[in-house]
Amino acid sequence: MTARVLVVDDIMSNVKLLEAKLAAEYFEVITACNGEQALARVTAELPDIILLDVMMPGMDGFEVCRRVKANPKSTHIPIIMVTALDQPTDRVTGLEAGADDFLTKPVDDMALFARVRSLVRMKTMTDELRMREETGQSMGLADAGETLVEPDPTGRILIVEDRPGSVAWFRAGLEPKNEVADVSNFEEVLVRARGGDFDLIVVSLGIRAFDGLRLCSHLRSLAEARNTPILVLVSEGETRKLAQALDMGVNDYLMRPVDRNELLARVRTQLRKKRYADKMRHNMHLSLEMAITDQLTGLHNRRYMARHLDTLMNNATPAKPIPFLIMDIDYFKSVNDTYGHDSGDEVLREFAGRIGTNIRGIDLACRYGGEEFVVVMPDTDVGYAFTVAERLRQSIESVPFVVSRVTSKLKVTASIGIASSPGTPDKPDALLHRADQALYRAKREGRNRVVAEAA
């Protein structure tokens, strides 16, 4: 996997060395020699990943990292700090500034490239979510994106370890802010993960009961756990095992012996990222729902109905007719004129609710526009469709509508037209036209009735 890498270091020999190594692995490299230049490159180039030195004149790497992560346009770009600083407090400071990893020089090339590829893969998935979110925003269907800056996220964490002392140590570090569970049985881990109950899974690759890497592979193959971050524990010197873990989709790692503050920093980072990704997925689903749903009534909209009807009629046969009901609230304009549009909206919502209670789960109810509604009934005899339409008409007529700003209950009626597609070579437009004609007949004949197209 290739990517555009921004290398930031004030020592030119370090820049050239990293540039040569990355170019040999087919990465595209851009460079900056100080903090201000790095921020300018991030804005102009939007790299896929940043390799950032800490000790630079003027603005140091920690401040660069904070600024990149505070900007909604660059908050998703992964940052690896590559520096000579080697104290646990330095790593924690970098992670708390928003860095995704903190590697101490001299860096093992295998570990570096595995980490770069791992973070780029994860960014690619995030980019897809961000593009869909931006589409939703451009359509007015989602709020503007957020940053990854959340001071102290908490979550539900599953510890996979069979050493009681190690489990107790992790619990002491993570509780009571986080909800922590521990498991040491392979199958039980998968069962718990399938429940989708956890925000982070911590796996010890030194577990004695089974192969920890195999467990990570299984977790990544589970649909329910695919988006749950995994943090693995590895012993110092296990570079190949770590590279394998990163290649299969593990999100982060800790080297033994584990520093408690680093544990908390890396856990917070993963929880923060999951919260960010979950929010984007939620916005994406919300955008999709809003794109196909009428916001006033909660029914599907006309656009979705048209696509759904196309699909149904493409698969229709004479043995599987498709009745189409179109209904119109009688004299609805007088409701708006007399009581106001707020009251008219209440009537529309209640009308939609009564449609929902009188049709089957396989039927599709939509607001067609204004006070017109439609119901598509796949694989249904037209006689049964007429019975449903008559039941719906009666339920509207027999129970007056309650409107909050009106002291008396409103009597509402509806006219309904029915047409049925006998299958190919019928077309959706022709079916809609015939149903419309039946509706007009219902209105001409006095309203508050159901009329089916002439046989």
Residues with catalytic annotation? Answer: 371
In which residue are the tokens 């526009």 written? 369
Distances (CA, A) of 280 to 137, 269, 404, 410: 11, 17, 37, 43
Sheet with 4-8, edge to edge strand ranges: 28-32, 4-8, 49-52, 79-83, 101-104
Which of 122, 126, 120 lies closest to 25 in space, CA to CA?
120
Rounded to whole angstroms, how far apart are CA atoms 208 and 254? 18
Dig out the tokens for 403 from the structure: 């409107």
- Rounded Cα distance, 385 and 452, in Å: 10
Contacts of 402 (CB under 8 A, 6+ apart): 350, 409, 410
Rounded distance between C-alpha atoms, residue 218 and residue 224, angstroms:
11
Q: 330: how many CB neighbours lie within 10 A of its CB?
A: 21
Query: Burial of 383 by CB count in 10 Å (0-12 exposed, 13-18 middle, 19+ buried)?
Result: exposed
Q: Which of 323, 306, 300 is nearest to 453 (CA)?
A: 323
Q: Tell me the C-alpha distance between 15 and 31, whole Å.
A: 7
Beta partners for residue 293, in sequence order: 300
One-letter amino acid of 152: D
Write the CA distances from 370 to 27, 37, 441, integer angstroms.
56, 56, 19
Is residue 117 classed as helix, strand or coil in its secondary structure?
A: helix
Q: How far apart are CA 162 and CA 165, in angstroms?
A: 9
CA distance 48 to 35: 18
Which residue's structure tokens are 């890396």? 266
Picking from 117, 111, 107, 81, the residue whose alpha carbon sits closest to that of residue 7 is: 81
Closest alpha carbon to 281 in 154, 138, 126, 155:
126
Q: What are phi and psi of 220, to 5 degrees?
A: -70, -20
Amino acid at 11: I
